[in-house]
Structure 1
Amino acid sequence: MAELKTVTYDGIMRDLKARKYAPIYYLMGDEPYYIDKIADYIAENVLADEEKDFNQTVFFGSDVTAAQIVDAAKRYPMMSERQVVIVKEAQNIRNLDALDAYLRNPLTSTVLVMCHKNGVLDKRKKIVSSIDKVGIIFESRKLRERDLPPFIETYLRGRGASIDPKSQQIIADSIGTDLLRLVSELEKLLIAMPENDRRVTPALVEQQIGVSKDFNSFELRDAIVNRNIFKANQIMKYFDENPKAGSIYGFLPMLFNYFQNLLIAYYCPQKNSPEQVAKWLDLRNPWAAKDYMTGMRNYTGMKVMQIISRIRETDAKSKGLDNPNTPAGELMKELIFFILH
């Protein structure tokens, strides 16, 4: 099949704010945050409040057929330039292919929004190319862990607040890639900030989100990067005494990503240059390369390969493979000891 048009969340929102509307938006994917943001913006802004009673319809996929959606989309607006039809949980619609006939000649006065969460359409289907010809098909993908700090920074900057890199990483590590939960926690921070100081600091994160500014995965990673045995043991003791503060399942991906990138950094042709290492690792800026510069001073390439192997072994044991009774906390202590010695 032909390549679909490339569309982005920012591009869609830019057109919507300019009041450039497509006759259909098929929003699909595993990240509900962007699907909800687009659908909510359309629901709130395309029509004036007084137009919505007669011209805005919301369906749920499990309660409606494709034929009923087509009937609604073919209606003409009443005392309004447009009508909006929003279908939530579109993944539950039976016989979605029945929409295809409507897509050959959609009404320009209808804005049809299909919200398909936790999955995507089979892109080989005819309906996908039909939507792409006349409207917008958008796949909302989960953010990678490395993309969370810039997302946090951008979100807060858009709300008139700033945040330091350490606080970004603490929040990213503690919340993870669930953007709905992440945004909820960021809103808590925004509410708690005084009007005369719109900065997110580790102290504010500790106070509002409950993540210790001194004992967290960011600080553990820092201790390992700098081979600070005392600090690493302090943090591990804290986690041992406060199981809710962190678990092996959160630390292992963080450690694996760091040492995997560190091994790649050894192959950089100019590994003494932070700028070149950042470019080699596809990092956001040279500042982000400093931990890898430090890591190459503190760990040999052979040791890094051994650490990666040990992390994989620990991951398997944490899931019960060849491990009859060692608790996760003990596995983590053994791993940290191996890394640092």
Structure 2
Amino acid sequence: MAKQNSGISYTSLMSKLDKREYSEVYTLCGDEPYFNDKICNRLENEIINEAEKSFNQVILYGKETDTKTIVSSARRYPMMADKQVIIVKEAQFLTQLDVLNKYLENPLASTVLVFVFRGNGQLKKTSTYKLLSKFTVFESEKIPDYKIEEWIEGFLKEKGYKTDMAGVKLIAESCGNVLGTIANEIEKIILNIGDRRSISVSDIEKFIGISKEYNVFELQKAIAQHNVQRISKIVDFLANDTKNNPIIMVVANLYSYFVKIHLTAGNMSKSDAELASIIGASPYFVKDYRNAAKHYNFDKTEKILQCLNSIDLKSKGVNSGADDRDLYKELLVNIV
């Protein structure tokens, strides 16, 4: 999930913040902004109180500032407070990082300096990174698609809520793999269900705004049954509402789905537990994948995966001027 170079986990880092144990310098980087944003929000809102922020908290942006300004701000002492906080967002746009080096060799104990990078870029190759690594460097990695459902379960549990596996899968299929989007949609559901602690599939459909009959989850069920008429109806519905069902998201979900069918087709002799581990799915859904593999064998799923990859490239404008509706037609031809 999310890790830190010296071995600290996201949970451990948050625990340190709970104890108000602060580092002089934080470097938050990696490809998953959700965890970095959570950490940054806490540093921004918890170290100093609101009354002190106007004098002792500065938020800068990599596109609009430079490393000399950052060093100058960091060297300033707090005014009538124990700490000052300097946060540099979009730090990947900074140039001349080596200007930071002298400060990083001897930072002020009264300054908490926070860098928030999107990705890593060339950061790790710099002399500055070696100095940053002496403090807290947290690298937040993307969660693999096959672990998204597990993350959703954990997020709900942390909030004190639960849903069944069908609900977890529907959230995953509807929201994609962007954790921030998933979290926001779950918060929207929680806000609307009152005192209940159990979230139903109907709640998810209603409050995320998913058509009960025509969505990617229902499309997968129709594919598993090889119900050509139902597949056609759902694809036609999605094609007529591309604003809420962009082809790029649908293809991403179907690609992940057909990868699981492809792996299932090649491992039909395995036990349900073994197969669940191989395809990265809950044992709850293994029966569905076995059923789908009876209609879509190893060779056929391989061709479908190639087709989905082609449609994905076309949806991004690679060697194609086709719109989403045209690509939905191509999708339908290749999966029925």
**Structure 1 residue 189: Cα displacement:** 1.1
SS at match of 1:117: coil
**Structure 1 residue 198: Cα displacement:** 2.5
Q: 1:302 aligns to what?
A: 299
Q: Equivalents in 2 of 1:321, 1:202: separation in Å?
A: 39
Q: Please report the TM-score for the alignment, with normalisation by the length of structure 2.
A: 0.84
Indicate if the aligned counterparts of 1:274 and 1:287 stay in contact, CA closer than 8 A: no
**Structure 1 residue 4: Cα displacement:** 4.2
SS at match of 2:117: strand
Change over 3 Å in CA distance of 1:322–1:80 after alignment to 2: closer
Change over 3 Å in CA distance of 1:63–1:242 after alignment to 2: closer
Indicate if the aligned counterparts of 1:205 and 1:213 stay in contact, CA closer than 8 A: no
Q: Which runs of 5+ in 1 are unaligned?
A: none
Indicate if the aligned counterparts of 1:4 and 1:129 stay in contact, CA closer than 8 A: no
Q: 2:129 aligns to what?
A: 128
Q: 2:217 aligns to what?
A: 218
Change over 3 Å in CA distance of 1:320–1:45 after alignment to 2: closer
**Structure 1 residue 245: Cα displacement:** 4.5
SS at match of 1:163: coil
SS at match of 1:221: helix
Q: Equivalents in 1 of 2:204, 2:111: separation in Å?
A: 45
**Structure 1 residue 38: Cα displacement:** 1.1
**Structure 1 residue 53: Cα displacement:** 4.0
Change over 3 Å in CA distance of 1:141–1:37 after alignment to 2: same
Q: Equivalents in 2 of 1:254, 1:89: separation in Å?
A: 30
Indicate if the aligned counterparts of 2:78 and 2:84 stay in contact, CA closer than 8 A: yes
Query: Considering only aligned residues, what root-mean-square deviation do their CA atoms show, in Å?
Result: 3.0
Q: 2:278 aligns to what?
A: 280
Q: 1:161 aligns to what?
A: 161
Indicate if the aligned counterparts of 1:88 and 1:114 stay in contact, CA closer than 8 A: yes
Change over 3 Å in CA distance of 1:88–1:264 after alignment to 2: same
**Structure 1 residue 98: Cα displacement:** 0.9
Residues 1-341 of structure 1: pairs in structure 2 closer than 5 A: 4-117=5-118, 120-133=121-134, 135-195=135-195, 197-268=196-267, 271-281=269-279, 283=280, 285-312=282-309, 314-315=311-312, 327-337=326-336
One-letter code aligned to 1:176: G
Q: Equivalents in 2 of 1:334, 1:62: separation in Å?
A: 46
Q: Percent identity?
A: 31
Superposed CA offset, 1:43-70 (max 9, x none): 2112234443443232233443322322
Q: Equivalents in 2 of 1:77, 1:323: separation in Å?
A: 57
Change over 3 Å in CA distance of 1:267–1:313 after alignment to 2: same
SS at match of 1:26: strand
SS at match of 1:287: helix
One-letter code aligned to 1:98: V
**Structure 1 residue 273: Cα displacement:** 0.7
**Structure 1 residue 154: Cα displacement:** 2.6
Q: Equivalents in 1 of 2:163, 2:306: separation in Å?
A: 35
Indicate if the aligned counterparts of 1:120 and 1:139 stay in contact, CA closer than 8 A: no
SS at match of 1:112: strand
Q: Please report the TM-score for the alignment, with normalisation by the length of structure 1.
A: 0.83
Q: Which runs of 5+ in 2 are unaligned?
A: none
Q: Equivalents in 1 of 2:236, 2:72: separation in Å?
A: 63
Q: Equivalents in 1 of 2:117, 2:76: separation in Å?
A: 23
Q: Equivalents in 2 of 1:297, 1:126: separation in Å?
A: 56
One-letter code aligned to 1:308: L
Indicate if the aligned counterparts of 1:260 and 1:308 stay in contact, CA closer than 8 A: yes
Superposed CA offset, 1:103-127 (max 9, x none): 1122233211112236544311111
Q: Equivalents in 1 of 2:188, 2:320: separation in Å?
A: 43
One-letter code aligned to 2:270: N
**Structure 1 residue 131: Cα displacement:** 0.7
One-letter code aligned to 1:229: V
One-letter code aligned to 2:210: V
Superposed CA offset, 1:263-285 (max 9, x none): 334454x833111112223x254
Change over 3 Å in CA distance of 1:70–1:324 after alignment to 2: closer
Q: Equivalents in 2 of 1:47, 1:314: separation in Å?
A: 50
